[in-house]
Amino acid sequence: MRGVAALLKALRKGQTTAILPDQVPPPASGDFSPIFGVPARTMTLVHNLIQKSGSQVLMCTALRADGGWQLHFMPAAEAINSADQQTSLDALNQGVESIVALAPSQYQWEYKRFKARPEGYPPAYPKGS
């Protein structure tokens, strides 16, 4: 909780923070939202911070380029600011999709983004993987 409090304090001061939004949160810290058409548990932290701070959200990625890295920034969809959590989570995942679309081969696909499944859905990965 100290980390979240520090994030909120920084945002309220107008400082910049960074969050990796495609991490799989524990059940109490996320809800399901589609990404690439597949339901994935998505962190509610970003939504909660927006609601408490009114901060502007930018999507960002660093892509490998000749001789180093190239940074890309894009505004998140306006819907990310929605008071409705589901609308905000859907917009967050759409933003991740937009960033991935810049260079799909550079996304860390080996990260098991779909390991948490809604009740009644079959596992997304073979057992033991």
- H-only helix segments in 13-129: 45-53, 85-102
pLDDT band, residue 83 (cuts 50/70/90): very high
In a domain, 39, yes or no: yes
Instruction: Tally the domains of the chain.
Output: 1
Can you tell me the mean pLDDT for 39-60? 96
In a domain, 60, yes or no: yes
Residue 44 structural domain: 2-106
Spatial distance between the Cα atoms of 21 and 59, rounded to a whole number of angstroms:
9
Spatial distance between the Cα atoms of 106 and 124, rounded to a whole number of angstroms:
21
Round the average pLDDT of the chain to a whole number and report it: 94
In a domain, 123, yes or no: no
Contact 55, 12 (CB under 8 A): no
Which one has a higher pLDDT value, 128 or 18?
18
